[in-house]
Structure 1
Amino acid sequence: PMESDPDGWVMFSTFRDLPYDALTLLENVLDSSHIPYTHHQSVGNRKNAGPMVDLEILETGKPGFYATWPEGPRRGQLGQQFTTFVAPSLMWHDVTSEKFGRTLTVVYATPIRKGECRLFARFPFKFNSKLPSFLIGLSPRWYTHLRNNGVLEDDQIFLHLQERALAARDAESYGQACYMPSEGDRFVVEFRRWVRDYAADPFPNQPLPREWSQPDLLDRYHSHTQHCGSCRSALKRVQQLKRGSLIVGAIALCLYPVMSAIVATPSLLTGILYSLIPLTTGGLWLWLNSLEQQFFKGREIPPRNLPEK
């Protein structure tokens, strides 16, 4: 879509190695019905959930399919959704809202080996107002990557486990193993039909590797950070600032006794200043340490499972 209408777009992009098949990734992103539930309090909200009706496959065949959801996400607030799957590994949702503008969610699913794939995702926006584009331009790339990693981790663990649950029932077809009676499942059903009809499994008859541990499933450093120039540089700066905050705080603590020996009675303002410096640098160190950890590992508890205020 951007080739035919190239002007005025702003875009986020990210990538990550994921602990499940490319087919599982494509099935997941084609399924718009899971967004309000699985991604509640990240990019979704349960309040926006509702019946998905009138989903229609407009064109289908070996090259993929083209489909529509007339109401669209958020109970129609974002406008009609058009979904395109270009075989074997590209899909996008295209939504245009009179209020907000046009939004695309584009996913390239690249197989690595059985049970692993690499995601390349792009999020082009064309807003009706210039302000959102300006604000997006101010957002550091590494910051958007941290947020995107959090969204992926909302369902990363159970998609990994889902594959193994399905593999344990390998005598059954996908349609027999999964009960999908809802209209909201139509895109997933069509995708699985395409996989079956065109023998599209990139690793047929290969067993899945062992089940990963939770730390491995939530690892960010090896699956993204070490390969990303923006995140790798940001991590280095965060670590440098951590060391700097410790040094400044330590110097302030060491200088205060020296100053007290030189100046018999330091002023109240001086005492407050020398007290605030280590407190400030200590608080900065704690915040930087928390930020640093986000480059290495994801959240153990997804936002949907946290208590709501």
Structure 2
Amino acid sequence: LVILHTLHTKISGSSLELKMLLKKPSTANLHLSGHPLRGLRGARKCRTNPQNLNARHATSAQGITNVDDMTSSKGSSVQEEDTARRFNWSSQWYPVIPTGYLYKDRPTPFQLLGLSLVLWNDGKEWVALEDACSHRLAPLSEGYVQPSGSLMCSYHGWEFDRAGSCTKIPQIGDPKSDRAARGNPRSCVRSFPVQEAWNLIWVWPESGADAWLRASVAQPNVPEPVRNPPPNGLRYFSSEKAWSMRETPLDYELLVENILDLSHVPFSHHSVAGHRADAAPSTMSQVGSTSCEQGFVMSTSAPDDGAKRRGFQSGYLHFSPPNMVHYSMKQRGNNLFLTSFTTPCAPGKSRYFSRIYTDNDHATSEWLGWLLMRVPPWMVHLSTHNIVDADCILAAGQQRALRARGISDHLDKAFFCPAVADRAVMVFYKWLSNYSGGRVQYAQPLQSADADYGDTTREDLLDRWSQHTRFCRFCHDGLALLDRISAAAVCVGIGAAMLAVQAATQASPLAAILATFKLATASLVQAVGACTPIAISPPDVMSMAPNALGGWKSILWAALAVVSWIVIRKASETKSKFFKGNYTFYDKHLIKMPA
């Protein structure tokens, strides 16, 4: 009987796995760019050993877990077969960067589940390879994209195609030896499935023929309104490519916890996205049960009184493994959606993506919708940084406290969460405990500086250049635009000041230029705190006095010079926001609460 039962289980499991692999999902609404199986031939050519991993989509056989008591670490009714299930973190699609952020003529490095990878475009599709040349392990992300579409290593000039096969070794001149070397499997670099969906680049962190096959039948984890949009489409409140993204120095678990927690908004983001005076108790309960592959859904009321005044009603909070938190809410009868993704890059490093949209094409007036869609994406990015800055500061404090207590998994054991508002967070940690051993299972855990976040300074947490700007083409364009505006304002300001001096003194153009230069030099030296300011000769000042107030031309030119100076200063202040934040809760909390 035991032998027959074992054979039956093996046959049933094999049949189910075959059906899952042969099942073709609908991708009509995802606008995918290219089919991952196009790289299958290259993967076989390199003879990479496929990893023996389970298929992802076995939704018909998902385990179900009922969470009875979500405010304690005990009391959940879990079936025995469900606790034996383990979530496969490697057999998943992960968003790694918005498509609009990328330059097609240069490689981009990134990390995913502890793997160091490089993303580049070969002229047809996006390609992901291991970020280590097979020659001497130099980073391919420092290389060049050749006109032929291959990626050249900057160390010795080796080139690789989209399948990871070596196409050129400059150091070998003999054709026969060259073919033999390039045909050796050790010359290849591991390639990973890539596809584009919802203006994001998604990567599957497995290589090998089996991985490409599993990836080809799986879909990126996007919310239902995107999979099946309404007839008139979705309405975004900014350009469809203006995704918000930050690579935070935070563990995946703490970042997801923060996104699921609605009650922190009026306190953490006081005067930015909420107000402390609006904080109020909210209701939250689980809808249905918890699933290994499908996650869980929470029903929630408006998070605070401010949201109620703005017309927010009930909503649903859906955590869909491995990375999506989808918040759908009602606002004056309209459906409003906030979708966030959290990608685990490495221990102590996660990428955060977010997007707000609605399915009502009349949610905004035509002219306002037209205007919002034309706001430059870099302005949208700057407007969201303060929110992430505050979250980084607080979550990093949690991270340090947990490490000091020696807690690296089952983080909820250190928390005391008696309020109903904490239920989504506690259910998330129960999901991690039941299906993943209490935390993310990295494909290649790192024991390096990437995991050394115990001494993360406030400057590191607010380092917007490292976390966002260096990855974002839109923000590069914004910096270049501000540089051009500053240069133009300097030219206009100098010219206006010269004409103002000339109009006031009736002096020759040369004398006006010299006088303007003296004034500008004196102002500059005094501005930087020089000990000995440059003196301006009395004739210059006295000659300006009689005509400065009476000459309307000099007043207009002087006003233009002042406006140019203001533009230069504002441009400089805006440019600094691309590089670092200066968020302090003390300044925000100085605002008095209304009576």
TM-score of the two chains, using structure 2 as the length reference: 0.48
Q: 1:52/1:87 Cα in 2 relative to 1: closer, same or farther (>3 Å)?
A: same
Kept in 2, the 8 Å contact 1:31–1:185? The answer is yes
The answer to whether 1:222 aligns with 2:466 is yes
Aligned partner letter, 1:67: V
Shift of 1:36: 1.6
Q: Within 1, Cα distance between the matches of 2:364 and 2:508?
A: 58
Kept in 1, the 8 Å contact 2:285–2:298? The answer is yes
Paired position in structure 1 for 2:20: none
Q: 1:295/1:85 Cα in 2 relative to 1: closer, same or farther (>3 Å)?
A: same
Aligned residue runs from structure 1 range 1-309, under 5 A: 1-2=224-225, 3-6=227-230, 7-12=233-238, 13-75=243-305, 76=308, 77-99=311-333, 101-127=334-360, 128-131=362-365, 133-170=369-406, 173-199=410-436, 200-203=439-442, 208-258=452-502, 260-262=506-508, 268-302=551-585, 304-308=588-592
Q: Within 1, Cα distance between the matches of 2:497 and 2:478?
A: 29
Which one has more relative contact order, counting CA pairs under 8 Å at least 6 apart? 1
Q: Within 1, Cα distance between the matches of 2:441 and 2:589?
A: 34
Q: 1:209/1:129 Cα in 2 relative to 1: closer, same or farther (>3 Å)?
A: closer
In structure 2, the residue corresponding to 1:221 is in which secondary structure? helix
Q: 1:54/1:17 Cα in 2 relative to 1: closer, same or farther (>3 Å)?
A: closer
Q: Within 2, Cα distance between the matches of 1:83 and 1:145?
A: 24
Shift of 1:277: 2.0
Kept in 2, the 8 Å contact 1:15–1:121? The answer is yes
Shift of 1:186: 0.6
Kept in 2, the 8 Å contact 1:16–1:119? The answer is yes
TM-score of the two chains, using structure 1 as the length reference: 0.89
Shift of 1:139: 2.5
Aligned partner letter, 2:248: L
Shift of 1:253: 2.5
In structure 2, the residue corresponding to 1:130 is in which secondary structure? coil
1:205-253 alpha-carbon deviations (Å, 9 max, x no partner): 9664342222221111121112112111011111111122112212223
Shift of 1:94: 0.7
Q: 1:35/1:51 Cα in 2 relative to 1: closer, same or farther (>3 Å)?
A: same
Gaps of 5+ in 1: none
Kept in 2, the 8 Å contact 1:252–1:278? The answer is yes
Kept in 1, the 8 Å contact 2:237–2:373? The answer is no
Kept in 1, the 8 Å contact 2:258–2:391? The answer is no
1:283-302 alpha-carbon deviations (Å, 9 max, x no partner): 11111111111111112324
Q: 1:26/1:124 Cα in 2 relative to 1: closer, same or farther (>3 Å)?
A: same
Farther-moved stretch of structure 1 (167-176 vs 267-276): 167-176
Kept in 1, the 8 Å contact 2:343–2:352? The answer is yes
Q: Within 2, Cα distance between the matches of 1:229 and 1:148?
A: 17
In structure 2, the residue corresponding to 1:166 is in which secondary structure? helix
Q: Within 1, Cα distance between the matches of 2:465 and 2:576?
A: 10
Shift of 1:180: 0.5
In structure 1, the residue corresponding to 2:470 is in which secondary structure? helix
Q: 1:36/1:257 Cα in 2 relative to 1: closer, same or farther (>3 Å)?
A: closer
Kept in 2, the 8 Å contact 1:82–1:93? The answer is yes
Q: 1:64/1:36 Cα in 2 relative to 1: closer, same or farther (>3 Å)?
A: farther
Shift of 1:255: 3.9
Question: Size of the alignment, in residue pairs?
Answer: 308
Shift of 1:125: 2.5
Kept in 1, the 8 Å contact 2:390–2:583? The answer is no
Whose helix fraction is larger, Structure 1's or Structure 2's?
1
Q: 1:156/1:269 Cα in 2 relative to 1: closer, same or farther (>3 Å)?
A: same
Kept in 2, the 8 Å contact 1:22–1:117? The answer is yes
Kept in 1, the 8 Å contact 2:323–2:342? The answer is yes
Q: Within 2, Cα distance between the matches of 1:173 and 1:113?
A: 18
Kept in 1, the 8 Å contact 2:341–2:353? The answer is yes
Q: Percent identity?
A: 24
Gaps of 5+ in 2: 1-223, 510-542
Q: Within 2, Cα distance between the matches of 1:47 and 1:224?
A: 32
Shift of 1:8: 3.8
Shift of 1:135: 4.2
Q: 1:307/1:48 Cα in 2 relative to 1: closer, same or farther (>3 Å)?
A: closer
Kept in 2, the 8 Å contact 1:58–1:66? The answer is yes
